[in-house]
Structure 1
Amino acid sequence: MTWDEINNLQLDDLMRLPLKTKAIIAAIIIVLLGAVAWFWFISPENDKYNDLQAQVETLKGQVRQKQLLAADLPAYQAQILEMKHRFQRFLEQLPDRAQIPSLLDDVTLAGRSRGLEFTLFQPLPEVNKNFYAEIPVKINVTGTYGDIGRFAAAVAAMPRIVTINDISITPSASASGTAPLDKALAAQKLEMSCVATTYRYIEAKVEQTEVRK
């Protein structure tokens, strides 16, 4: 059958075709219709379905992550609360501006009550360290090795934080220049120079909050 004959086929001619030929033609028509349906309708919808399925899996993953976070939330909140309590206890060990003079008096008293003689007590400029400030004081004292040790222990035991740095200990000028250093440490007067530093919490943000209240 030529192409012209196919083009000139009439319905009656198709009806007279053999059953096998009719079946082949019907199969071809079904395949063509199926291909058209697939490319024009089914395939785009299938792509949309796959996209939606991928979005669903992504959302499920996000939900699982948030569920895990939600399950750990009480533990995180407890840790944050504990950190806040520790930070508050730390801040309570830092004197405020009004307490600095009395704290420095306590340092002086701790030295004198243990037999030390202060030859220099010189407050140095305050050093800003972001949320806190260092308040150093240069100190020169004279006393025995035991007196100096008891003074250092007393300062360390203070409820407020005070550190002693840049320590230098030498025999006193009044001691014999020929005396061995070990004997000077045991019985004779020594001179110690150091920097005692306390720390002040900078409460700018806290003060602003209190003003708004």
Structure 2
Amino acid sequence: MLSLKVAASWPLTSRLVCAGLLGALLAAAVYLGWLAGLSATLQAAQDEEARLRVAYRMSQMKADRLPVLREQQRQAAITLASLERQLPRQQEMAALLSSINQAGLDRGLHFALFKPGPAKPATLQAHYVALPIAVQVRGGYHAIGAFAADLARLPRIVTVHELALVAGNDGVLTLDAMLHAYRLPDATELAAQAKLPPVTMSPLPRLVAPLIAQAYDAADLPDPFGAAVQAVAATQSAVAAPDLQRPREVLESLALSEMLMVGSVQYEGRLSALIQAGGRVHVVATGQHLGQDHGLVMEISEQGLRYREVLQEANGAWRERRGGIDVQAGKAAKPLMAEAQP
């Protein structure tokens, strides 16, 4: 029997056979190691192929949506241009404030407060400057509703915030609100905006249809404030309460003491008075309302006009007061007779 201790004395044939077997074992080990590395490389290539196939399908889907995305981009550009046209420049803000004030006067509202505040500068998220305006207006329910609708229909963007609506003893509502008028930033504000640190933007909201301002069409609905006031007045006074649901006329936003009769004119086949108030001359006919206490024009002559007012006392009772505005020497309105409360 052959022993490894005396391998050097083995026959040549035995030594050659052992060397061949040892070489075959080493070759097999090398082959198995190479085959394992080749298998790992193949697996990595297969994984990369799968990843590339997924990326290809995703890119193909995006390419298929490209016309839709381009159309959305075009619509977004149109919407942005339309919104920017509604933003005035700083030198145009005076005209916008005047338009807001005139919208309220045209509805017969009286502005007790109209106070613009400091502008809120543009940010990286808001590319506009907001000007807050504290307002307090007095008038009828439907007149205030129509005023809000008129603000929405202005050619510039004006929003209403922090509304508070309170009914007075005379049935006239008081609206406290904060309006926001928006404008484009000027060069200095744009430079300050560019220096702001970058921020993380939230995902864009989904596109919605543009808002379309609607005309006020609720004038025929009941006034939720006026109904209660009229019910209280009817039980406490023999003088009929005025129609608190009636839209206020232009001259009802001004006090009678601020009005002057500067003449008269034949207008539409009847004599009408020329009343100067608020820096303008108004043509006033019999049956129109003026003043802040439901004044009604009863009679007009070349010498002056006569009116009747309906006032509400602190206890809710209504009383009547008559007065007039004489044309001689431009005298202002003055009470002629105050009827006692029944």
Q: TM class by shorter-chain length?
A: 0.5 to 0.7
Residue 68, structure 1, aligned to residue 65, structure 2: no
* Aligned mate of 1:164, from 130, 145, 160: 160
More strand by share: 2
**Counterparts of 2:8 and 2:106 in 1: how far apart (Å)?**
125
Query: Hey, what does 2:142 align to over in structure 1?
Result: 146
Note if contact 1:167-1:195 (Cα within 8 Å) is conserved in structure 2: no
Residue 80, structure 1, aligned to residue 73, structure 2: yes
**Counterparts of 1:41 and 1:205 in 2: how far apart (Å)?**
70
Query: Hey, what does 1:198 align to over in structure 2?
Result: 181
Aligned residues: 185
Structure of higher CA gyration radius: 1
Distance 1:67 1:144, change over 3 A: closer
More helix by share: 1
SS in 2 for 1:128: coil
SS in 2 for 1:107: helix
SS in 1 for 2:160: strand
Distance 1:114 1:57, change over 3 A: closer
Distance 1:36 1:161, change over 3 A: same
User: What is the deviation of 1:41?
Assistant: 4.2
SS in 1 for 2:50: helix
**Counterparts of 1:205 and 1:72 in 2: how far apart (Å)?**
40
Residue identity in the other structure for 2:75: E
Identify which range, 189-198 or 40-49, moves more after superposition: 40-49
* Aligned mate of 1:8, from 7, 10, 19: 10
Note if contact 1:122-1:139 (Cα within 8 Å) is conserved in structure 2: yes
State the identity %.
26
**Counterparts of 2:189 and 2:54 in 1: how far apart (Å)?**
41
Written as runs of structure 1 = structure 2, the 5 A alignment for 1:116-195 is: 116-128=109-121, 130=123, 131=126, 132-165=128-161, 166-171=163-168, 175=170, 184=171, 189-195=172-178
Written as runs of structure 1 = structure 2, the 5 A alignment for 1:28-67 is: 32=25, 34-39=27-32, 41-67=34-60
Q: What is the TM-score when the length of structure 2 is the normalising length?
A: 0.44
For structure 2, which runs of at least 5 residues remain unmatched after alignment?
Answer: 192-342
Residue identity in the other structure for 1:192: L
After superposition, the C-alpha distances for 1:120-176 in whole angstroms (9 at most, x for unaligned) are: 32111112362222212222333333333332222222122212332333327xx4x
**Counterparts of 1:99 and 1:65 in 2: how far apart (Å)?**
49
Note if contact 1:167-1:194 (Cα within 8 Å) is conserved in structure 2: yes
After superposition, the C-alpha distances for 1:189-210 in whole angstroms (9 at most, x for unaligned) are: 44433322212243669967xx
**Counterparts of 1:100 and 1:159 in 2: how far apart (Å)?**
12
After superposition, the C-alpha distances for 1:71-129 in whole angstroms (9 at most, x for unaligned) are: 33332333233233323323333333222111111111112222223333211111236
SS in 2 for 1:197: strand
For structure 1, which runs of at least 5 residues remain unmatched after alignment?
Answer: 15-21, 176-183, 209-213
Q: CA RMSD in A?
A: 3.6
SS in 1 for 2:121: strand
Distance 1:193 1:44, change over 3 A: closer
Written as runs of structure 1 = structure 2, the 5 A alignment for 1:80-119 is: 80-119=73-112
